[in-house]
Amino acid sequence: NCSLNTTTNHLRHVESMAVLPSGAGKIPRLNAVILGEALASEEDDLVFPSDDFARQALLPSAQKYLEMYKRSVEDPAGFWSDIASQFLWKSKWGDTVCSENFDIRNGNVYVQWFKGGITNICYNCLDRNVDSGNGDKIAFHWEGNERGFHDSLTYTQLLSQVCQVANYLRDIGVKKGDAVVIYLPMLMELPIAMLACARIGAVHSVVFAGFSADSLAQRIMDCKPKVVLTCNAVKRGSKVIHLKDIVDAALSESFEDACLTYENRSAMMRETTKWQDGRDIWWQDVVPTYSTICEVEWVDAEDPLFLLYTSGSTGKPKGVLHTTGGYMVYTATTFKYAFDYKPSDIYWCTADCGWITGHSYVTYGPLLNGATVVIYEGAPNYPDPGRCWDIVDKFKVTIFYTAPTLVRSLMRDGDAYVTRYSRKSLRVLGSVGEPINPSAWRWFFNVVGDSRCPISDTWWQTETGGFMIAPLPGAWPQKPGSATFPFFGVQPVIVDEKGVEIEGECSGYLCVKSSWPGTFRTLYGDHERYETTYFKPFPGYYFSGDGCSRDKDGYYWLTGRVDDVINVSGHRIGTAEVESALVSHPQCAEAAVVGVEHEVKGQGIYAFVTLVDGIPYSEELRRNLITTVRNQIGPFAAPDRIHWAPGLPKTRSGKIMRRILRKIASRQLDELGDTSTLADPGVVDQLIALADC
């Protein structure tokens, strides 16, 4: 059973700040603000929720949070089964709500929540809302790349469309447990396809439509889908991207199953789309012929819901597997509390469904709450950097959730693009994907949110399924750049290199003690890698791969990845993936990739490249190397910088010393540290000499 911990460190921290009686400490100030005695934040840089906000918040005080948090870790079974009971279950789970082994020293790691409970997440997203009288509520507002193109679907309409796709999938033989690959841009058909899979118990594997043919092929080969769902093309900004050509290149000759292709007329007509008879089918030709009623496949809470590939520290992406019941309960609950969701909200998350954020917080979390969701097909700065606020005003968006990289890029374009729009509907802002630097936080808060909207800076991962550390707006003051405190049921732990838990104010590696309902269950087809990557580094805990510090008030500050993963514009990219793409070029002998600070993207990709003997450096080769990476992974993984390297700094045992490369890449040349253990310390001088070539 889940380990019960009476008082976690975190509780002690929050408890210490949650003492109500006036006197020293943080909470008296919070009370004063709630009572209307506005206090300026002091040296601590605390930002308090406004009176108006706190008064209407779902969780109006740190005390209330504390009560619920305490129960969630002391009685996880009771806490989560009370919440789970609000969903529709064909039959309830057995006596054991959660069973787990999170400690590798006790044998194989496993996690189960609500095992034996029979449900369906699509039913809970759609039918349950229609049945409760919300059928006419808008589920999706869709905004096209071009101004003036928009559409919307009510819950009833969405349900009908999902049923038609589900019936089509069933008809071509897709059954419970079968994989379906979805390679679609942000059309409503993307979440429709996901929900249709969930309805019939098929396992969707969405591949971000920015991935190249090679990456798509790799994912198709790994999970062997019965069918691929795609569209012919999409317009993003002023560019047309021919998705169907990419799919054609990815599908091997041997793929004889179906390729269902949506005709996206705003980008390309069917007449000009390349076609393979027998395999390719136009979505619009078949889907509307199916019934709008489709019986759901009732599944066990532990049956797989989806696979989503993410980068790790080796070249091969990891197929993160999530199951149904725990994920459902967790995404719904985190969405509700972290955004202070109310039924009247209009919610817009700028993420693509190709990433976990689009799974949990464009599709499942919001729909489970019966929310109205805005989906935008295009580029956020097209035709100009005011587009986001145009969309906010158009749909009266109240909750706006985005990534720091977009905030930074819009910030650079100047306030005028923001202030020309009203934005008065906004009440909660959100941030995800990477640490948000305090200056971007302040701009987001002051300029976009007119100093009125709390920012939910949500720390979580593909693996965690949902928010792990996030502010509950209204419950406590925020500190710009801190994700604040853990969500219900989450027990974060900071450990040192030896895996020993450190208490109080400290920094180290961020781990989690015991499971939460949204925990991923395995890496598809490789449970051993799951254990090795996440549970072996610090036995007893789940290791996130992130560095973190905790300040004197118990606030958590994420400091970025500590493994060989870099975070470019919120996209996780393994350095090894980029290196293996580079060395696949016949003239590249060796490559070492590191992340460097980048003003807009957060991190940029910096590649040191050694050429095959006798090959001269040239501008053309530099461009070819970048193209190779674009073709093998996708344009978002293209190196920002290629640094010619006659040799790489290696230890005598042949290990590349990335620490030194990082310093050279960021031009911190006086901080190179000890280079005496290098096999050939001379390479460092060579690299420095070539730094600006």
Under rule CB under 6 A, residue 462 binds ligand 6R9:
yes
Select 336 or 561, whichever has its Cβ closest to ligand 6R9.
561
Select 114 or 543, whichever has its Cβ closest to ligand 6R9.
543
Under rule CB under 6 A, residue 508 binds ligand 6R9:
no
Gap between the Cα atoms of 671 and 555, Å rounded: 30
Q: Kindly give the pairing relationship between strand 203-206 and strand 179-183.
A: parallel
Nearest distance in Å: CB 358, ligand 6R9: 10
Q: Classify the C-alpha dihedral 437-354-513-95 as positive or negative.
A: positive
Identified binder of ligand 6R9 from the candidate list 142, 339, 460, 530, rule CB under 6 A: 460
Identified binder of ligand 6R9 from the candidate list 81, 458, 478, 522, rule CB under 6 A: 458
Select 461 or 631, whichever has its Cβ closest to ligand 6R9.
461
Select 25 or 560, whichever has its Cβ closest to ligand 6R9.
560
Q: Classify the C-alpha dihedral 680-685-689-693 as positive or negative.
A: positive
Instruction: Please list, in sequence order, all residues whose beta carbon lies within 8 angstroms of the beta carbon of residue 588, skipping any fewer than 6 positions away.
Output: 582, 609, 610, 611, 612, 625
Under rule CB under 6 A, residue 483 binds ligand 6R9:
yes
Under rule CB under 6 A, residue 482 binds ligand 6R9:
no
Select 248 or 457, whichever has its Cβ closest to ligand 6R9.
457
Residue holding tokens 């970025």?
560
DSSP per-residue letters across 12-30: HHHHHH---SSSSSSHHHH
Nearest distance in Å: CB 546, ligand 6R9: 5
Binding mask 19-58 for ligand 6R9 (x = CB under 6 A): ----------------------------------------
Select 120 or 464, whichever has its Cβ closest to ligand 6R9.
464
Assigned token pair, 153:
């679907």
Residue 179 amino acid letter = A
Angle CA 150–246–268, to nearest 5: 35
Select 357 or 409, whichever has its Cβ closest to ligand 6R9.
357
Strand partners, 369: none
Gap between the Cα atoms of 366 and 126, Å rounded: 11
Nearest distance in Å: CB 565, ligand 6R9: 7
Q: CA distances (Å), 638 to each of 107, 245, 570, 628, in order? A: 41, 20, 14, 9
Q: Which of 44, 103, 257, 563 is catalytic?
A: 563
Q: Which of 206, 109, 191 is nearest to 534 (CA)?
A: 109
- Quick check: is 415 catalytic? no
Candidates 118-126, 457-465, 499-507, 623-631; binding stretch for ligand 6R9 (CB under 6 A): 457-465
Select 350 or 628, whichever has its Cβ closest to ligand 6R9.
350
Under rule CB under 6 A, residue 461 binds ligand 6R9:
yes
Angle CA 540–465–330, to nearest 5: 95
Assigned token pair, 440:
């971007």
Nearest distance in Å: CB 99, ligand 6R9: 26
Q: Which of 257, 200, 196 is nearest to 225 (CA)?
A: 257
Under rule CB under 6 A, residue 375 binds ligand 6R9:
no
Q: Which of 416, 331, 264 is nearest to 83 (CA)?
A: 331
Identified binder of ligand 6R9 from the candidate list 126, 356, 418, 611, rule CB under 6 A: 356
Nearest distance in Å: CB 604, ligand 6R9: 16
Binding mask 417-446 for ligand 6R9 (x = CB under 6 A): --------------xxxxx-----------
Gap between the Cα atoms of 417 and 387, Å rounded: 8
Under rule CB under 6 A, residue 310 binds ligand 6R9:
yes
Under rule CB under 6 A, residue 357 binds ligand 6R9:
yes
Under rule CB under 6 A, residue 407 binds ligand 6R9:
no
Instruction: Please list, in sequence order, all residues whose beta carbon lies within 8 angstroms of the beta carbon of residue 123, skipping any fewer than 6 positions away.
Output: 88, 199, 296
Candidates 96-104, 354-362, 499-507, 649-657; binding stretch for ligand 6R9 (CB under 6 A): 354-362
Candidates 80-88, 351-359, 524-532, 656-664; binding stretch for ligand 6R9 (CB under 6 A): 351-359
The total of other beta-carbon atoms located within 10 Å of residue 559's CB is 13
Q: How many residues comprise the chain?
A: 693
* φ and ψ at residue 642, rounded to 5 degrees: -110, 125
Nearest distance in Å: CB 488, ligand 6R9: 17
Extended strands (E) in 232-282: 234-236, 239-241, 258-262, 280-282
- Residues 526-585 touching ligand 6R9, rule: CB under 6 A, are 544-546, 558, 560-561, 567, 570, 572
DSSP per-residue letters across 627-680: HHHHHHT-GGG--SEEEE-SS--BBTTS-B-HHHHHHHHTT-GGG----TTBS-
Nearest distance in Å: CB 362, ligand 6R9: 12
Nearest distance in Å: CB 328, ligand 6R9: 18
DSSP per-residue letters across 50-89: PHHHHHH-SS--HHHHHHHHHHHHHSHHHHHHHHHTTS-E
Nearest distance in Å: CB 433, ligand 6R9: 4
Select 212 or 360, whichever has its Cβ closest to ligand 6R9.
360
Q: How many residues bind ligand 6R9 (CB under 6 A)?
A: 25
Under rule CB under 6 A, residue 478 binds ligand 6R9:
no
Nearest distance in Å: CB 464, ligand 6R9: 8
Nearest distance in Å: CB 437, ligand 6R9: 10
Q: Classify the C-alpha dihedral 585-588-591-594 as positive or negative.
A: negative
Under rule CB under 6 A, residue 459 binds ligand 6R9:
yes
Residues that are catalytic: 563
Site residues (vs ligand 6R9, CB under 6 A): 310, 355-357, 431-435, 457-462, 483, 544-546, 558, 560-561, 567, 570, 572
